[in-house]
Chain A
Amino acid sequence: MTSTSLDVAAIRKDFPILHRTIRDGKPLVYLDSGATSQRPVQVMDAERHYLETSNAAVHRSSHQLAEEANDAYEGARAKIAALVGVGIDEVVFTKNATESINLVAYAMSNASVAGPESERFKLGPGDVIVTTELEHHANLVPWQELCRRTGATLKWFGVTDDGRLDLSDIDELITENTKLVAFTHQSNVTGAITPVREIVEKAQSVGALTVLDACQSVPHMPVDFMRLGVDFAAFSGHKMLGPSGVGVLYGRHSLLAAMPPFITGGSMIEIVKMEGSTYAPPPARFEAGVPMTSQVIGLGAAVDYLNALGMENISAHEHALTEAAIAALREIPGVSIVGPVDAVDRGASVAFTIEGIHPHDIGQVLDDQGVEVRVGHHCAWPLHRRLNIPASVRATFYLYNDLDDVTALAKAVVEAKKFFGV
């Protein structure tokens, strides 16, 4: 069954893993793309092709292989930059989104003990970093640590009962003491999409930097960082059909050009003397060491794949699945959706609980039916604490899912209730 704007049957042919079976022959229903997405053959082929034809250490040697490797690596950077509406030199490759966020946190940490040239990024007692209770740990713990190292104070936006950001106290939270505001574009649990512009405008009005966790938005909808106006943004390759081991940090060029490095060493330098060194302009300044080349090229192929389908179409498709999933789950007595029940400003992460069954146990029965979801707190423990639940079950949909997967999920949930007698 197809749902909307995508030919899912055709798409699924590109994903060999979707044709395997689970636990004694059940067809795989993969609903954990929010954790990691599956990869199409085009991505795997691109990595393999690069390794079979042009593999070399980029930005070092001058032989022909190195030339080809450079072109492939930088070509991928250009595709990724275009996807999110930013300049090529504003894209820094990292290991993953977690490292991207840590890069900013540690650069600010380094700035805080550096000279006046790093004034823009200095933090100290009296300064405030604002984050939110909705965050993935990756956009919370680095800021807690940065506050601990610098003496700055961490404050946060709360969450409404239906899992959206509560911005009602924005004027009290973001003040002239605020140096940085870090927040998610879309909750990896509740699916709530943040009104980014509202926060950015407020942050800009007090001169605070903004960091956007775009892990759950870039893979699923059209995103233009320039238009959103954020200063930094992080996302992961493996959540958008690409390989693991590659993440992206977007940084506004003027900021990257002024920011001290995080990881230092080879290929990020300008001049090295025994007495000290100067650093290359961005993005090289933030890419020390031989980078994850084939993964970057694989990510470039993933971007091609997404563009061929169209981010608008992917977003519309997922929207239809989200609506269907929420409706199907809400029909089952005892099921509570963790997050907004209307599909407005909401992505395809559908988390829920079932009265009387622990999420781990639900997940086990679902897995027995071939339905692969995530259970636990999904690296958003404070959010679960705020909502007074120890854990939840999370189904996340992507471009290769269809309405049959929604039906399979609902059927497996009914099965879980039957199994545990609730």
Chain B
Amino acid sequence: MRLDQMYQEIILDHYRNPHHRGLREPFEAEVHHVNPTCGDEVTLRVHLEGAGPEAKVLDVSYDAQGCSISQAATSVLTDLVLNKTVGEAFEKHQAFLELMQGRGQVEPDEDVLEDGIAFAGVAKYPARVKCALLGWMAFKDAVARVES
């Protein structure tokens, strides 16, 4: 059943018990992103050390409301980027973006995306792709703001 492919147990686990949730200090940038078609929202903060691609992601904290896909994707994001460099984090973002835009045709690399591979089934539902990307777009925006 395709529904089970979409709602992998990993996704539901992250949804029910989101990682690193809550807004914390310190942070250098805070952004608020919405999905205007459905009303899902995320407020996301980043705390970086250093500058450029070598800057280290010391914290990503967030407050969000939305569907299981958007909530779980943001939770997975934090696992993937915390204590990585910005360059590494953006590589993961790129890999996740390619997976989500692949219409289910992209084979995800577990070494890069870890729990993120569970979203392969979501990519078959184009209307839900933006749910999965909401937190990632916010993260990218927040990092860009720190750097500017």
Contact = CB atoms under 8 A, between A and B. Distances in A.
B37 A360 contact: no
A390 B1 contact: no
A360 B2 contact: no
Q: Which of A359, A384, A390 has the most CB of B within 10 A?
A: A390
A305 interface: no
Interface stretch (A148-156, A160-168, A285-293, A375-383): A375-383
B68 interface: yes
A384 B37 CA distance: 13
Contacts of A377: 38-39
B55 interface: no
A23 B69 contact: no
A368 interface: yes
B6 to A, nearest CB: 7
Contacts of B104: none
Contact of B39 (A24, A365, A391, A419): A391
Nearest to B122: A364
B85 to A, nearest CB: 33
Q: Which of B12, B65, B67, B69 has the most CB of A within 10 A?
A: B67
A384 B39 contact: yes
Nearest to B3: A368
A364 B3 contact: yes
Contacts of B7: 361, 364, 419
Contacts of B41: 390
A352 to B, nearest CB: 16
A372 B36 CA distance: 20
Contacts of A376: 37-39
A23 B2 CA distance: 8
Interface residues of A, number: 18
A211 B1 CA distance: 48
B138 to A, nearest CB: 17
Interface in A345-369: 358-361, 364-365, 368
A338 to B, nearest CB: 13
Given A376-B38, A390-B40, A391-B38, A361 B68 contact: yes
Interface in B78-97: none
A358 B41 CA distance: 13
B130 to A, nearest CB: 11
B3 A381 contact: no
Contact of B125 (A359, A364, A375, A391): A364
B1 A381 contact: no
A368 B2 contact: yes
B128 interface: yes
Interface of A: 23-24, 358-361, 364-365, 368, 375-377, 381, 384, 390-391, 419-420
18 contacts: A23-B2, A24-B2, A360-B40, A360-B128, A364-B3, A364-B7, A364-B128, A365-B3, A368-B1, A368-B2, A368-B3, A377-B38, A384-B39, A390-B40, A390-B41, A390-B65, A391-B38, A391-B40
Given A376-B37, A390-B39, 8 more contacts: A360-B66, A361-B7, A361-B69, A364-B3, A390-B40, A390-B65, A390-B66, A419-B3
